[in-house]
Amino acid sequence: MGLGYISTYLRGKGYRVNVVDGNFTGDDPYAALDRIDSYDIVGIGCESKNIAEALKIARYAKKKKKIVVMGGLHVSLIKGKILEHGFVDFAIDGEGELPLHRLIQFLNGSAPLASVPGLIYRKGTRVIVRERREIGNLDDLGFPDFRLMGVRRISNYPLVTSRDCPYKCNFCTVGSLSYGKWRARSPDNIITELKLAKERYRIKEFTVLDENFSYDVERVKLFCLKLIKENIALPWMIMEGVRADKVDRELIKLLKISGCHLLIYGIESADRKVFSNSAKGSSLAVVQKAIRLAKSEGMRVGGFFVVGLPGATFASEMKSIRFALKHGLDPIGFWMAIPYYNTKLYKWVTRHARLLREPVGGNLVTSLRTEPFFETPVFSREQIKKAFLIARQPHRAEYQKMIWGPLQKLSG
């Protein structure tokens, strides 16, 4: 999504842009750097899971005498430390569209360096991190053109209708990085993108990927009404972007009528103490009510949980599994708590837990092979791993037998 937005934005400003998406298209970035003629800048977006590969690409680009600019979530987390590797010329903290455009203008001699928001660069022996500036009107960005990556067909279209989140959940990178300035696209603008996507990619459905889709409930309701009025006629789902404390019956009815068939809540933990520690700003009672409400209207409801949050124990994780099964959540997702750099969770771990491994690398992607990142005096590495393995397979009969028996005495 980031590559799609940035490349489309720069194309709109008149620049020639080539895009290599090594995550999804399987393109070889090294071959592309050799194949493409006459380019000046190599921009690399990276997350914590692929920072090592991103740095290899940066090193290769520097050997070809190119200007290297890095951005993405990991860069925004570690900021000036990214320049310590020696083959990154500039980095961008936060959103990339406007800063990268301004940086190109500076390199072309048509804008001062001071005009580049969020820029990370060296000035002598010092590293400068300029203040970020988020884009105010998201409708001005245009729609990501995935054809620049060689994509011609998309069955399930990824849709982002807003950016940032004003809440400060302790495990979340968005809450740690955001200035709390939630910004949203207008329903008309979103409908226009969906119409274009149907024509351009022949999409069959779409998925909303917002961090906080429901922050403005009236906007969501208007969006649903426009989906119906414009006869978009596509099934769709929401991947965790709806807060339970924003849900009412009118919203659920409109979601259902407009084609939404799956709603996933970010629940995190069904233990009241752990839930409270996560700083979500809601309550389990509200979550339960929201689940019942959605199900009463025939909505399929899923839930996401995090294993190992502050205050968690083996027993508390079993509560979460029991909660998920009791409420018939489908799908159920359990993820290992990751103390990303500079998040509240990372700072908590440094004070109250023992860090077992750094939050970088391919094993960040949650799978049965994922090992815990930290342990606490009340939740050991072995216990975390055991709870995680049980939680990842909650539908299997033998696991349900293991869970239900010992948990009959547990409250919640």
Complete domains list, the chain, with CATH: 2-129 (3.40.50.280), 153-407 (3.20.20.70)
Q: Which residue has the higher pLDDT, 242 or 412?
A: 242
Query: Which pLDDT belongs to residue 228?
Result: 98
Query: Which pLDDT belongs to residue 397?
Result: 45
CB 318: neighbour CB atoms within 10 A?
21
Q: CB-based burial of residue 87 (10 Å sphere; 0-12 exposed, 13-18 middle, 19+ buried)?
A: middle
The 10s digit of each residue's pLDDT in 212-242 is: 999 999 999 999 999 999 999 999 999 988 9
What is the C-alpha separation between 116 and 37, in angstroms, rounded?
Answer: 27
Query: Which pLDDT belongs to residue 280?
Result: 86
Q: Which is nearest to 87 in space by CA: 57, 112, 117, 118? A: 57
CB 244: neighbour CB atoms within 10 A?
22
The 10s digit of each residue's pLDDT in 365-405 is: 777 888 999 999 999 999 999 999 999 875 554 444 444 44
Task: Count Cα atoms within 13 angstroms, Cβ side, for 139.
Answer: 8
**Could you tell me what percent of the chain has a pLDDT over 70?**
94
Question: Averaged over 254-264, what is the pLDDT?
Answer: 97
The 10s digit of each residue's pLDDT in 11-36 is: 999 999 999 987 777 789 999 999 98
Question: Averaged over 194-211, what is the pLDDT?
Answer: 97
* Token pair of 216 as six digits: 């403005």
Return contacts of 116-122, CB within 8 angstroms, 24+ apart: 118/92, 118/93, 118/94, 119/90, 119/91, 119/92, 119/93, 120/75, 120/79, 120/80, 120/82, 120/83, 120/90, 120/91, 120/92, 120/93, 121/83, 121/89, 121/90, 121/91, 122/83
Query: Which pLDDT belongs to residue 180?
Result: 66
pTM to 2 decimal places: 0.91
Q: Which residue has the higher pLDDT, 209 or 370?
A: 209
Element at 79 (helix H, strand E): none
When the pLDDT of each residue in the chain is averaged and rounded to a whole number, the result is 91
Confidence of residue 143 (pLDDT cuts 50, 70, 90): very high
